[in-house]
Amino acid sequence: MKVEAPEQELKLNGLGIFTPKDVARLTGKRLNYIYLILSKSNRFVRIQNGLYCLTNTDPFNIASRIVSPSYISLISAFSYYKLIDQVPYIIKVMINKRHASIDSVMGMRIEFKSIKREMLYGYNNVHNISIADPEKAIVDSLYLLEDTQYVKEAIANANERSMINKGKLLGYAKKCGIRRVYAEIEKLVEK
């Protein structure tokens, strides 16, 4: 069997991220053979134990699919929406459990930020990427007190491009249940 065969099968089945068992099921080949192909070919990248992707898979797609439910937020979402000038080398993923960071996937570090299950809202699937709405990325930043130095710039740029819904932003802030987050967003929205 050629290396291209599993790659084509994976693409046809929409599996940019997969396990060796997925490949064995799709191709009918034995699992030990699949492990050999995955380790020897430069067409596949090992993300973590038992999880692989095709070499041309978008790192944001990978990051948002490692743990479920999850979504990309904070500076990564600000950058994705081009609300800030910085281009981070870290993709920050919100999850409701603990998961170790992954140091290098397609040149990016993936960091997992643990939040309460009740905070898993305000995100959508955009081009196969689970990512926070701009409003939710702002709330997450203030909630976790992380990447807060980018919040004013993100709000200003989102307002300039009519990408932000102030009612939704205030609603998300209220829903997070932290008074200081709501108060800070109220001040930022009034400006």
Number of domains present in the structure of the chain: 2
Please write the tens of the pLDDT for every residue from 86-123.
889 999 999 999 999 998 888 899 999 999 999 999 99
The answer to whether the beta carbons of residues 94 and 104 sit under 8 Å apart is no
147 shares its domain with 182: yes
Reported confidence tier of residue 127, pLDDT bands at 50, 70, 90: confident
129 shares its domain with 69: yes
107 shares its domain with 130: yes
The residues, ordered by sequence, that sit 6+ positions from 134 with a Cβ below 8 Å of its Cβ are 77, 78, 81, 83, 154, 158, 163, 164
Domain containing residue 16: 4-55
21 shares its domain with 66: no
Look up the pTM and report it.
0.88
77 shares its domain with 100: yes
